[in-house]
Amino acid sequence: MTETLPGVEKARFVSAMFSRIARRYDLMNGLMTLGMHHAWRRVAARQTIASPDGPALDLATGTGDLALELAEVHPHRVVIAADFSLGMLTEAREKLRGLAQARRVRLMAGDALALPFGPRTFACVTSAFLLRNLADLEEGLREMKRVSRPGGRVVALEITQMRAPGFATLFRFYFHHVVPWVGHLIGGDREAYTYLPQSVERFVTPAELATLMEKVGLRGVTYRRLGLGTVTVHTGIA
């Protein structure tokens, strides 16, 4: 599907898709992960604890869950929560309304491939389920590195292909057949939840992503697999 689209067209496709599913995004995340996505985001947020002073940036913030985790972990930081899907930002704005920690979260529209910030602006940069949707993965990583302060943490949470013997086949059936059906039934968008497993299959391995992070200049890159290997948290130092 999107692997044949030019960069600009893929960006439009992805933005429109996420805006379509925004209202049911949290519900579908909870169903697909049995609620574990909150714990995974918490792990990602805690990887930024050793970052220097300064604001935090959460890219592809969606409905704001990782931005809120960052605000919990860093009660002294302002968190910029950016997304290029206006539908997602609308849902995030509703979620954040009235939450105490949300007073330090600033929502804004922004493209991960052309961030509207100067170099060395942020103490940490995070993303959850962003990278496999980028038209240019390496450029996206370069942008994350560019806007990070020296010593800042760059953290990416991504869905990965399960490799556990005995579980991989079951997971693949669930991901390729059950998830699109549930996405059609609950989310009202079979195309979006068919794209999801396809994008995971096309994505680089955790080891390959670590190599790309090092290529753009991040140091001390590590990764940790969670959820029986269905998701991976990568961390690098700017």
Please answer whether residues 41 and 65 qualify as being in contact, where contact means their C-beta atoms are separated by less than 8 angstroms: yes
pLDDT digits (tens, 9 = 90+) for 215-227: 999 999 999 999 9
Mean pLDDT calculated for residue range 138-164: 95
The domains of the chain, with CATH numbers, are 2-162+203-237 (3.40.50.150)
Backbone phi, psi, residue 114, to 5°: -150, 70
Q: How confident is the model at residue 101 (pLDDT cuts 50, 70, 90)?
A: confident
Whether residue 1 has pLDDT greater than 50? no
Helix or strand or coil: residue 98?
Answer: coil
What pLDDT is stored for residue 172 in this prediction? 84
Average pLDDT of the chain is 93
Mean pLDDT confidence for 52-73: 98
Mean of the pLDDT values across residues 99-108? 94
- Picking from 161, 153, 158, the residue whose alpha carbon sits closest to that of residue 221 is 153
Which neighbouring-strand residues pair with 58?
81, 126
Identify the pLDDT of residue 9: 84
pLDDT digit string, tens, across residues 178-193: 888 988 888 788 898 8
Better pLDDT: 72 or 189: 72
What's residue 6's pLDDT?
55
The per-residue b/e assignment along 51-81, b for 16 or more CB within 10 angstroms, e otherwise, is beebbbbbbbbbbbbbbbbbbebbeebbbbb
The percent of residues above 90 in pLDDT, for the chain, comes to 74
Across residues 23-46, what is the average pLDDT?
94
What value does the mean pLDDT take over residues 64-72?
98
